[in-house]
Amino acid sequence: MSRCPWYNGNGMLQRGRLPAPRFAAALPPHGHRPSAANQVAFRGPCCSILLRRALGTLCVGLLLPGVAAAQSAGIRTYANPIDIDYRYNFEQLNQGISYRSGADPVIVLHRGAYYLFETIAGGYWRSEDLGHWTFITPTRWPFEDVVAPAALSVRDTLYLLQSTTVPRPILFSTAPETGRLEFYNRLMPSPPGAQSPFGEQPATPGAVPPGPWDPAIFHDPDTDRWYLYWGSSNFYPIFGIELDQARRLDYVGTPRPLISLHPDQHGWERFGQDHRDPRAPFIEGAWMTKHDGRYYLQYAAPGTEYNVYANGTYLGDDPLGPFTYAPYNPVSYKPGGFVQGAGHGNTFQDRYGNYWNTGTPWIAVNWNFERRIALFPAGFDRDGQMYVDTRFGDLPHYLPTGRWNDRSELFTGWMLLSYRKPVTASSVQDTFPATRVTDENPRTFWLAAANRPGEWLVIDLGQPCEVRAVQVNYADYRSNLYATDSTVYTQFRLQASLDGQRWLPIADLTGERHDRPNAYVELPQPARARFIRYEHVHVTAEHLAISDIRVFGRGPGRPPASPQGLTVRRDADRRNAVVAWKPVPGAVGYNVLWGIAPDKLYQTWQVFADGPDRLDIRALTVDQDYFFAIEAFNENGVSPVSRIVHPE
């Protein structure tokens, strides 16, 4: 979601908050930075110069023939949040709130390459494998930037429409790799019958609000007809209308209300952390996918500010309905783990025909809408049920190299080695201890005494392990940056050791001039190590703050046993269930699995073993039966799935 900033919680336009370009009131102390409105003219693609450093004396017992340079051609895996140069946001400059963010993603496959569009980026990204992304500065871009865009590829043309409450152009490109965008139409008019965006507008049943906000354009390849879906409100529904391609995608007819939220029936549509806030939830982020002749109208709910932000779907036999609620909703749901939240993205096919679903995980340290982007395998089963695989969704997965047959086969099996492991640091500022870098919480962080080269962190894994990858996740603490340009970059080194005395380099990013807020480094070969050391070189922010350093690989022991004693009790309020189990010795955490049939356990909620041995699930549909199971995991692997429980 990118909620329309000019609307209040009652769906009413706020007086005096019309969209307008914002200009920098002051320059950060790091040299000249163009104003937000003029970033397009001055910002260029970040350079990524990949250097390999010569290996020093080999540490005995380390299996390490090379040093990783991030974004190198040898990377075969990725980990969420995806590793791109998330842009610093300018919207809260006047409040002095500085943060990087990425949200409301759309990934489009166009002429064999992938293009990523998202909220407030000043441009877009291109990739040939979904793992290596290059930022592209376009020739044309709205001064107020783009929020929650619609993007699609039809034949040789890529189309782009920003969220808007006033007429704005549709842009297009036949060569998006060059950054060249042209006007498809100069002004996409407001939807027929829509309220005026000017002045205070009461939320009126049956009215069409200003828009289209959170748009999605759909082209039906079988009929060659075009449609627009939009809406972001805790009052209004998702709307749809046909477009006339012969008239530059002008509207045909009048908008139709298509789907609304029913949180009294659908537990996952309730607002708040763990669905516990009684306020009205938001429906937004529409997307349409056609599969086997049926239309899957997807939507996000209940709000981007929380761990339970998710995607659901309705099904229909016509692009404008009528639509029927899918009994297996939500489709994409990830309320637990390091990456929390999976709502408001899109569903697309890669070059091999595999389906993927993008989403917007929640950070919200500096601002409610501080977010990141996630990418999950998706698909449709033999019964046409749509699913998104978020199981171990923040651990490394393989990038696609062909058609897959099983939804879990992209999971590498590289487990989290660093959870709650001891950490030492070169320095600490105030009450931001180093222990926070292994707590799997992006909303806590370590703060160094100074942002200077040579600051370090050492994680003790407790025993020698096979290390395969490391993810360094930075935090923004009073960063005083409001735009991303060539002066904003990240540099560090990683080292490994068996004894904490003799160190071998395993990754060197000192040759990069590229910002990496969520830097994922896959090692060229596995390293046997007990200690992992981060050595700081550069961040452009005023402070050095790291939320988590996540180490992935395999421990030397056995996976945990399958959990026993699983019980599930549905409440009198059938939207809720209480799941409990007996703790498993040696487990680091558990995945609670559920679905509408024993062979459709597509939902996952990850919890850690140092928490309660029970889970309240408040995401169920009142009149739907469910089946539940659980599995345990640790540094060594994953247990067999428990027996399946079907509660009364």
CATH number for the domain harbouring residue 574: 2.60.40.10
What is the C-alpha to C-alpha distance for residues 386 and 264, in angstroms, rounded to an integer?
A: 23
For residue 159, tell me if it sits in a domain: yes
Closest CA to 176 of 135, 215, 146, 148: 135
For residues 126 and 172, state if they share a domain: yes
Encoded tokens for 532: 């992992």
Please give the DSSP secondary-structure letter assigned to residue 202. -
The rounded mean pLDDT for the chain is 90
For residues 93 and 123, state if they share a domain: yes
Assign residue 545 the CATH number of its domain: 2.60.120.260
Buried b (16+ CB within 10 A) or exposed e, 177-207: eebebeebbeebebbeebbebeeebebeeee
Q: 50: pLDDT confidence band, cut at 50, 70 and 90?
A: very low
For residues 325 and 469, state if they share a domain: no
Q: What is the mean pLDDT of residues 243-251?
A: 96
Domain edge (last residue) among 526, 554, 582: 554
Q: What is the mean pLDDT of residues 467-493?
A: 98
pLDDT at 67: 86
For residue 18, tell me if it sits in a domain: no
Range of the domain at 442: 415-554
Question: What are the counts of helices (DSSP H) followed by strands (DSSP E) for the chain?
Answer: 1, 39
Task: Map tokens 């490109």 to a residue.
Answer: 173
* pLDDT tens track for 294-319: 999 999 999 999 999 999 999 999 99
Q: Report how far apart, in Å, the C-alpha atoms of 118 and of each of 101, 115, 355, 494, 531 are.
A: 10, 10, 19, 31, 37
For residue 343, tell me if it sits in a domain: yes
For residue 344, tell me if it sits in a domain: yes
For residues 243 and 374, state if they share a domain: yes
With contact defined as beta carbons under 8 Å apart, do 395 and 410 qualify?
Answer: no
Q: What is the mean pLDDT of residues 132-153?
A: 97
For residue 209, tell me if it sits in a domain: yes
Buried b (16+ CB within 10 A) or exposed e, 28-43: beeeebbbbbebbeeb
95: left (phi over 0), alpha (psi -120 to 50) or beta: alpha
pLDDT at 635: 98
Buried b (16+ CB within 10 A) or exposed e, 555-582: beeebbebbeebebebeeeebbbebebe
List of E strands, 210-304: 216-220, 225-230, 238-244, 250-259, 284-291, 294-301
Encoded tokens for 533: 């050391």
Q: What is the mean pLDDT of residues 119-123?
A: 97
How many domains, in total, are found in the chain?
3
Q: 71: pLDDT confidence band, cut at 50, 70 and 90?
A: low
Question: How many C-beta neighbours within 10 Å does residue 156 have?
Answer: 10
For residues 293 and 384, state if they share a domain: yes
For residues 576 and 544, state if they share a domain: no
With a cut of 50, say whether residue 435 has pLDDT above it. yes
What is the C-alpha to C-alpha distance for residues 335 and 390, in angstroms, rounded to an integer?
A: 10
Q: What is the mean pLDDT of residues 356-372?
A: 97
pLDDT at 37: 30
For residue 400, tell me if it sits in a domain: no
For residues 571 and 485, state if they share a domain: no
- How far does Cα 166 stand from its chain's mean position? 28
Closest CA to 414 of 438, 397, 391, 389: 397
Q: What is the mean pLDDT of residues 449-476?
A: 98
pLDDT at 2: 55
DSSP characters over 492-527:
EEEEEESSSSS-EEEEE-TT-BS--TEEEEEEEEEE
For residues 479 and 590, state if they share a domain: no
For residues 428 and 526, state if they share a domain: yes
For residues 522 and 579, state if they share a domain: no
Please give the DSSP secondary-structure letter assigned to residue 621. B
For residues 492 and 374, state if they share a domain: no
Assign residue 152 the CATH number of its domain: 2.115.10.20
Q: 648: pLDDT confidence band, cut at 50, 70 and 90?
A: confident
Q: pLDDT higher for 408 or 609?
A: 609
Q: What is the mean pLDDT of residues 255-284?
A: 98
Encoded tokens for 231: 């809406």
What is the C-alpha to C-alpha distance for residues 249 and 242, in angstroms, rounded to an integer?
A: 9
Q: 34: pLDDT confidence band, cut at 50, 70 and 90?
A: very low
Q: What percent of the chain has pLDDT over 90?
A: 87
**DSSP SS3 for 571:** coil
For residue 141, tell me if it sits in a domain: yes
**DSSP SS3 for 466:** strand
For residues 388 and 523, state if they share a domain: no
Degrees (nearest 5) of the Cα angle 443, 444, 445? 125
Domain edge (last residue) among 554, 582, 613: 554
Tell whether pTM > 0.85. yes
Q: 595: pLDDT confidence band, cut at 50, 70 and 90?
A: very high
With contact defined as beta carbons under 8 Å apart, do 342 and 388 qualify?
Answer: yes
Closest CA to 212 of 239, 172, 246: 239
With contact defined as beta carbons under 8 Å apart, do 319 and 219 qualify?
Answer: no
With a cut of 60, say whether residue 5 has pLDDT above it. no
What is the C-alpha to C-alpha distance for residues 194 and 143, in angstroms, rounded to an integer?
A: 24
Domain edge (last residue) among 394, 424, 449: 394
Q: What is the mean pLDDT of residues 464-489?
A: 98
Which helix (H) or strand (E) is 493 found in, with range? strand 490-497
What is the C-alpha to C-alpha distance for residues 382 and 520, in angstroms, rounded to an integer?
A: 35
With contact defined as beta carbons under 8 Å apart, do 271 and 281 qualify?
Answer: yes
For residue 70, tell me if it sits in a domain: no
